[in-house]
A and B are shown apart, each in its own frame.
Chain A
Amino acid sequence: MNNDIVLKVTAKIITPFIIIYAFYIQFHGESSPGGGFQAGAILASAFILHTIIFNINYTLKVLSMRFLKITASIGVLTYVFVGIIPVLYGGNFLDYSYLNSNKLLGQKIGIMVIELGVGITVFSVIMIIFFSFIMRKTNV
Chain B
Amino acid sequence: MNNFLNWPTILPEYLNSILQNSLLVLVLICVAAIIFSKDLLISTILLSVFSLLMALIYLMLDAPDVAITEAAVGACISTIILLIALTYTKKTEYYAKFSLKGFIVVFSIGIALIYALYDIPEYGNINNPIHTHVTPHYIQKSGHEIGINAIAASILASYRGYDTLGETSVILTAALAVIIMLTNNKEKKK
Contact = CB atoms under 8 A, between A and B. Distances in A.
A121 B168 contact: yes
A134 B186 CA distance: 12
Contacts of A33: 64-65, 67-68, 150, 152
Contact of B81 (A73, A117, A133): A133
A94 B161 contact: yes
A114 interface: yes
A125 interface: yes
Given A35-B65, A83-B161, A110-B158, A133 B153 contact: no
Contact of A76 (B81, B152, B172, B178): B172
Interface in A40-85: 41-42, 44-45, 48, 52, 65, 69, 72-73, 75-76, 79-80, 83
B80 interface: yes
A125 B80 contact: no
Contacts of B162: 93-94
B157 interface: yes
A72 B172 contact: yes
Interface of A is mostly: helix
B153 to A, nearest CB: 5
Contacts of B156: 35
A23 interface: no
Given A42-B72, A79-B165, A108-B147, A34 B178 contact: no
A105 B148 CA distance: 10
Contacts of B171: 121-122, 125
A103 B189 CA distance: 56
A25 B65 CA distance: 10
Contacts of B154: 30, 107, 111
27 contacts: A29-B150, A31-B150, A33-B67, A33-B150, A34-B65, A38-B72, A41-B77, A42-B72, A44-B77, A48-B76, A72-B172, A73-B172, A83-B161, A107-B148, A107-B154, A110-B158, A115-B153, A115-B157, A117-B168, A126-B77, A130-B80, A130-B81, A132-B178, A135-B183, A137-B84, A137-B88, A140-B185
